[in-house]
Amino acid sequence: MDAHSPETDGITAISGLLVGHWTDLSAATGCTVVLCPAGAVASVDVRGGAPATRETDVLRPGNLVDRVHGVLLSGGSAFGLDAAAGVMRWLEERGHGFPVRTGVVPIVSAAALFDLGLGASDARPDAEAGYAACEAAGADPVAEGTVGAGTGATVGKALDMEHAVQGGIGTAVERTASGITVAALVAVNAWGEVVDPDTACVIAGPRADERGFADTIEIVRARPPLSPYISGNSTVGVIATDATLTQEGCARLATMGHAGMARAIRPVHTPVDGDILFALATRETETETDLVQLGALAARAVERAVVRAIKAATGLAGVPSASEWPPA
């Protein structure tokens, strides 16, 4: 089977991971959960200036807990972090979590993106939504585009929301010659434009008046100093590997993964983006790990996941997808 075939090209290619979406198309929001019931060594790298997060401090190397049992990506801005409570409840009911005297405490990290400007701003993922995403989770290929945490995502906001295009969620996988797998799942809600690194072409950006996309870099260049920018963005995602990594290794993997975000989104890591990548290691593969190799492939998986999110998206709530907007 081809390494990038639809059957294998996604984060569920990592054994032991389950992915589920909860989607509310009428409200233009949703959430996505990556479950690792057996626990996965984890860390995180927050690069954006406007993050909305939960349980990220616990992922710093040197703390008591070095594993998570789930990662939630959610719409709804900081309100959407409530969905993590439903993920915790689902895991606790099944006995998955950090063992304590009274039972288990599931460790669920989360990041939320801002989608309140699309659809119904008072409808946000909650605990029931998080629980429903867990109920829907499985090891099948992951649905991409306007679904889950990518439902209300938008990109290309250098002019204003009226010129934005639909974002989405995407996934991709890379493999080393020795058989180690690394994959990414990314919800793309960037202030900036999206570029396909393979062609160097802008595939999503601020819509020009009739067709094509305006040049984000030129828009930024022409802005008067200290002009207000549209806040509430964020590209959030999960990198996962079956390699045997320490928490320090996962931290480095998350850091290197951001290179893929930088290659596919410009500008990225701005003060109005809450860009964040979690990294998980299921330790299924005992092959000696080369972090340079693994990090390079993680970045490649991230950039491909970003592109796939945009290409799979469909228009919603009056915002067209990039594929629905006439080219220049």
Instruction: State the pLDDT at residue 1.
Output: 34
Task: Go through the domains of the chain in sequence order and give each one's CATH number.
Answer: 11-324 (3.60.70.12)
- pTM for this model (two decimals): 0.95
DSSP class of residue 166 equals E
Instruction: State the pLDDT at residue 145.
Output: 98
State the Cα–Cα distance between residues 39 and 238, nearest whole angstrom: 15
DSSP class of residue 97 equals S
- 185 and 238 in contact (C-beta within 8 Å)? yes
The tens-digit pLDDT sequence of the chain (328 residues) is 334 444 457 999 999 999 999 999 999 999 999 999 999 999 999 999 999 999 999 999 888 998 999 999 999 999 999 999 999 999 999 999 999 999 999 999 999 999 998 989 999 999 999 999 999 999 999 999 999 999 999 999 999 999 999 999 999 999 999 999 999 999 999 999 999 999 999 999 999 998 999 999 999 999 888 778 888 899 999 999 999 999 999 999 999 999 999 999 999 999 999 999 999 999 888 777 899 999 999 999 999 999 999 999 999 999 999 999 998 8
How many other β-carbons are positioned within 10 Å of the β-carbon of residue 205? 28
- 316 and 166 in contact (C-beta within 8 Å)? yes
How many other β-carbons are positioned within 10 Å of the β-carbon of residue 61? 12
Exposed/middle/buried for 242, CB within 10 Å: 0-12, 13-18, 19+? buried
Instruction: State the pLDDT at residue 8.
Output: 57
State the Cα–Cα distance between residues 280 and 241, nearest whole angstrom: 6
- 186 and 235 in contact (C-beta within 8 Å)? yes
Instruction: State the pLDDT at residue 231.
Output: 80
- The backbone torsions φ and ψ at residue 206, rounded to the nearest 5 degrees and listed phi first, read -60, 130
State the Cα–Cα distance between residues 69 and 76, nearest whole angstrom: 22
State the Cα–Cα distance between residues 297 and 315, nearest whole angstrom: 31
